[in-house]
Structure 1
Amino acid sequence: MQVRRLLFLQKADVLEQQKAWVVAQLGAALPQASIEFAGSAEAVPEGAVFDVVIAPTLPWLPQALGRLTDYRWVHFLSAGVEKIWAMDFDKTRPIMTKSSGVHGAPMSEYAIGAMLYFTKQFGRFHQQARHAEWQHLWLDGLTGKQLTVLGLGHVGQSLARRAKAFDMQVAGTLRNLRPVEQVDRVVSLAEIESELARTDFLICCLPLTEETRGLVNDELLGRLKPGAVLIDISRGGVVKGDAVLKALNAGTLKGAALDVFEQQPLPKDSPLWQREDVLITPHVAGTTPHYLKRALDVFLQSLHDQMAGRPISNQIDVKAGY
């Protein structure tokens, strides 16, 4: 597929910051292509034809696409695309790809940091320091502990590699079972119960689909080894917040690091805010100053694969919903 005309969509306030980066990176890789920008649906040239549209999952994306006569490829700047299923545009005709892998490094680093936060009791020491308290404690470690990853995609595999540097045992789930480097045991979600019983850290990296919505519930958390830690870096809605609270109160969970929630921002009256055994972050696990470059690199690799006749690894599966 030859790309001669490309449209980049973005929120208007962000667009001005990203234009130069987009022109430099895509212009160097696709010197034959003209690159146009739009910060609103109204700014999209009506009746135009583009080979590729690159965009986040913007709420006005259907209106923007509706102004075009034709487009052959839509690349999303995010790895999660659950928002597009409620949007009114044709998802079967164009190639649709997502920025899979863009979160691998930052999100796996976040998960390692969260595990260390609870294992080394950094939160407790921070509180002690604020009150000039000197209280000695014996600390646990990650060595020999089991990490169980729900979703061995790009993030899960990146996390497994980093966990092995701490000599952890790693288990994880895949829809289509196959060996995964640095993962000791790969199982299906239906077979996860035996792993939960020996899990010290449960990391949720799943996309939000009809199959995964509310998956981490009372029943699943109740099967965990008592004293486990939950880390949620998936999408809001996979983990049920009320189930987390019950598991914390019951002692099934020793702690939880939560980056995403069923309702965002997390309501101010949520009891999660008041808990010392919960680390709350505002959906930042995947953020990095290198995000745009990596997302565009994913698109360029997909384009090269398509032109070479190779399968596009990050193509969106409409039936699967991600």
Structure 2
Amino acid sequence: MKKPTIFITRKIPTKLLEPYSDLFDFKMWKKEDEPVPREVLEDEVKQVDGLLCVLSDQVDQSLLNQSNQLKIVANMAVGFDNIDIDYAKKMGVVVTNTPDVLSESTADLGFALMMATARRLNEAAQYIKNGQWKNWAPFLLAGTDIHHKTLGIVGMGRIGEAIARRAKGFGMNVLYHNRNRKREAEVKLQASYVQMEELLSQSDFVISVVPFTKETNKLFNKEAFEKMKESAVFVNISRGAVVDENALYYALKSGEIKAAGLDVFEQEPIKSDHPLLELENVVCLPHIGSATVQTRTEMIELCLKNIATVLEEKAPLTPVN
């Protein structure tokens, strides 16, 4: 009997596939750091039972229509806005994601980005590399304190809660806004639920951890940045499209807010001439929120477990639809 075939859209360590070698035939795109061309993906999806993809792969109606026997799309991410969930369900294709396993690592990165931005670490490192450090001065590269300041978390999911736990170690006052109030988190984390306007106006740091939806599209726009303190630091580790980047650029350039730390962008990868890269008060990272060896390995393993359970006609571990 022919084994089911799985196509993997990025090159991953083959040792992770070994536990499933008796169950499945694997086909894999040959490059880790380059996306599979659309025409290759369309050709491969015609003949596979499972697809292990990443966030930049568009699994839309057009692609799904190319499939003949596809049963599962395992997305190596928490978010799934790259997949037409409703159409997949209509076609009987299960979609899964990788929650939980990346929450702590992403929270680490979010907090590190907040600290690097507030304390101007990129600028300071470049200052030395440029040979500019000649003398000590009282306010040389002086940044912003983090301890005992107010942190506003927009989106109190698993990652938001993990960030709140870290904030308490710095003696921070934690505010949050979420679609649904989470009273258990308020007790556990000593976090205060507030409306969005109050969060923006009261927070010294605002961090976005919301999923991308119609409601959160351009959530951080001109009006939102106008409500923030001039001393505020904005951090985005959620999705690039929740921010109006033109409005953010203006807010940073004009001094409407102090600084920004960004791990995600509207269009990824961003080009080297992106306006935000011109600004010294911005720290930009290439979408590395969950990028630790341990976490990325666990994400792949969870994708493979989901594929195995679905193709064995069992319930998936982390279904989206």
Category of TM-score, reference length = shorter chain: 0.7 to 0.9
Q: Which amino acid aligns with 1:204?
A: S
Residue 212 of structure 1 deviates from its aligned partner by 1.1
d(CA) in 2 for partners of 1:42 and 1:122? 44
Q: Does residue 192 of structure 2 align to residue 185 of structure 1?
A: yes
* Structure 1, 155-164 or 197-206: larger mean CA deviation: 155-164
Matched-pair contact (CA < 8 Å) for 2:46–2:69: no
Partner of 1:21: 16
Residue 88 of structure 1 deviates from its aligned partner by 10
Partner of 1:105: 104
In structure 1, stretches of 5+ residues that fail to align are 318-322
Matched-pair contact (CA < 8 Å) for 1:104–1:159: no
**1:80 aligned counterpart, secondary structure:** coil
In structure 2, stretches of 5+ residues that fail to align are 30-39
Q: CA RMSD in A?
A: 3.5
Partner of 1:37: 27
Q: Which amino acid aligns with 1:255?
A: A
- State how many pairs are aligned: 297
Q: Deviations over 1:133-164 (max 9, x none)?
A: 32233665322111111112222122112222
Identity of aligned residues (%): 24
Matched-pair contact (CA < 8 Å) for 2:156–2:209: yes
Describe the shift of the 1:158–1:5 C-alpha distance in structure 2 as closer, same or farther (beyond 3 A).
farther
Match of 1:135 among 137, 153, 157: 137
Q: Which amino acid aligns with 1:136?
A: P
d(CA) in 2 for partners of 1:123 and 1:8? 42
d(CA) in 1 for partners of 2:167 and 2:244? 26
Residue 304 of structure 1 deviates from its aligned partner by 11
d(CA) in 2 for partners of 1:312 and 1:289? 24
**1:211 aligned counterpart, secondary structure:** coil
d(CA) in 2 for partners of 1:68 and 1:34? 18
Where does 1:111-190 land on structure 2 (aligned, <5 Å)?
Answer: 111-129=110-128, 130-133=131-134, 134-137=136-139, 140-179=144-183, 180=185, 181-182=188-189, 184-187=191-194
**1:252 aligned counterpart, secondary structure:** coil
**2:233 aligned counterpart, secondary structure:** strand
Residue 119 of structure 1 deviates from its aligned partner by 3.4
Describe the shift of the 1:69–1:200 C-alpha distance in structure 2 as closer, same or farther (beyond 3 A).
same
Matched-pair contact (CA < 8 Å) for 2:119–2:143: yes
Residue 5 of structure 1 deviates from its aligned partner by 6.1
Residue 172 of structure 1 deviates from its aligned partner by 1.9
Residue 70 of structure 1 deviates from its aligned partner by 3.7
Residue 173 of structure 1 deviates from its aligned partner by 2.4
Q: Which has the higher contact order (CA 8 A, sep 6+)?
A: 2
Partner of 2:94: 95
